A and B are shown apart, each in its own frame.
Chain A
């Protein structure tokens, strides 16, 4: 008896005259994890940005209620943080909610970081710690919906695994709705309610992973990429 939180119908997005998304339809219910799967350039990040209202589109995007959306964009470059003298605490203070140190500590623990790193420079954290800090940064606003765009990019395999189980735990305890962009098929089976796959040729699939993903759909989605490599 889940409510539909987001209903997307015939979504079309063009950027600089190029069709990125064409007649895309899917829906997401409250408390689901939707994984968005597809090769580079299929429009996964564009889809998230469109749903956030950053980009113009045609078609309909209907949010039931106005959810508070948290968003972790793809590949935030830690070097940008290294350029500036920002401690972890300073980085959290840039949020419009101005969280207290106690809150920050609580959310750092939640993502498996030591509270003491609050006074460390954000640029001096390891890649994995930095990514976890960003997850905490998103969570501390207490969003109802979170968009994660490849949260494990740039983290070694073991680290990626733990980020996903972390997200899964938070999803269970905080009763969130999660939109997750990933390349990683094993994550799709393990963690998601539904999968939405995008390809550069405009093939889409949408549904529960076990019913939707098979050799044929996967070839339609990723096949072009493999052929491209063969030509070179």
Chain B
């Protein structure tokens, strides 16, 4: 029992941290909506995993990675805005999931099952989180510049297409991991909320990154612990903790306005 809690906390910390870090790159209008649809795309995969009884991530990963590559190709080909493409991907994900997902067993798919995570799955989570952390760190300054001013990035010699792909794949992996922690419906929240909170209290880039990771990690820990104590589902509590911390960050933001 205690062992299981330990595995749950460790994976929660890694997933929450890397999702928070990745989220700091997504506060631009074009990108912030992409994680949601990708997460929904995990649903059919999760449904298959439940039906055939294999690991959740084995089901989720192929779908989200395919989705990421699909968004990347469609954006290049059609020049449609990403939010538009994401809506299409979103609809297909939910549509397929509703067709094949056994509704009675849908809870795991919707709210995650990190409390049942195995030792091997925890190891995989740690390794994948570290890889994504490394990749995001590598592409960070170029992606940030692209997000602020695309043209400046091009002059700096950034291969915007390659970076977009790496970025989408990172999102896909985090979304796949997020399915464990909070399920397929609300995965976008563990990516989007920590960075929003971090932005409220940060003046510079470094504090922004660090506090987003901290918000992600702390929300995961508090959410998991409260869920254990109160015997409630973990995913929703992680999200609610995130939202609660976000509300607190708004108070701090007000204060800093007066100081300035």
Interface segment out of the listed B80-88, B147-155, B165-173, B177-185: B147-155
Residues of chain B with a CB closer than 8 A to A229's CB: none
Q: Is the pair A84, B149 in contact by a Cβ cutoff of 8 Å?
A: no
Q: Is the pair A86, B205 in contact by a Cβ cutoff of 8 Å?
A: yes
Residues of chain B with a CB closer than 8 A to A81's CB: 148
The interface on chain A, measured as residues whose beta carbon lies within 8 A of the other chain's beta carbons, has a size of 24
Residues of chain B with a CB closer than 8 A to A76's CB: 149, 151-152
Q: Given A76-B149, A80-B149, A86-B148 in contact, is the A93-B205 Cβ separation under 8 Å?
A: yes
B208 is an interface residue with CB less than 8 A from chain A: yes
Bound CA–CA A90/B203 (angstroms): 10
Among B154, B198, B199: residue with most chain A CB under 10 A? B154
Q: Is the pair A54, B154 in contact by a Cβ cutoff of 8 Å?
A: yes
B104 is an interface residue with CB less than 8 A from chain A: no
Output the nearest chain B residue to A69 by Cβ-Cβ distance. Answer: B155
Residues of chain B with a CB closer than 8 A to A93's CB: 141, 205
What total count of A-B pairs have CB within 8 Å? 64
The interface on chain B, measured as residues whose beta carbon lies within 8 A of the other chain's beta carbons, has a size of 26
Residues of chain A with a CB closer than 8 A to B148's CB: 80-81, 84, 86, 94
Residues of chain B with a CB closer than 8 A to A41's CB: none
Output the nearest chain A residue to B200 by Cβ-Cβ distance. Answer: A85
B138 CB, nearest partner CB in chain A, Å: 13
Q: Is the pair B157, A96 in contact by a Cβ cutoff of 8 Å?
A: yes
B250 is an interface residue with CB less than 8 A from chain A: no
Among B141, B155, B202, B203: residue with most chain A CB under 10 A? B155
A87 is an interface residue with CB less than 8 A from chain B: yes
Bound CA–CA A95/B145 (angstroms): 8
Q: Is the pair A83, B155 in contact by a Cβ cutoff of 8 Å?
A: no
A57 CB, nearest partner CB in chain B, Å: 16
Residues of chain B with a CB closer than 8 A to A29's CB: none
Residues of chain B with a CB closer than 8 A to A124's CB: 260
Q: Is the pair B203, A85 in contact by a Cβ cutoff of 8 Å?
A: yes
Q: B residues bordering A, Cβ < 8 Å?
A: 27-28, 141-142, 144-145, 147-149, 151-152, 154-158, 198-199, 202-208, 260
Q: A residues bordering B, Cβ < 8 Å?
A: 52, 54, 69-71, 73, 76, 80-81, 83-87, 89-90, 93-96, 119, 121, 124, 137
A-B contact pairs, 23 of them (CB 8 A): A52-B154, A52-B155, A54-B154, A69-B155, A70-B155, A71-B152, A71-B155, A73-B151, A76-B151, A83-B28, A84-B208, A85-B204, A85-B205, A86-B144, A86-B148, A86-B205, A87-B204, A89-B204, A90-B206, A95-B145, A96-B157, A119-B204, A137-B152
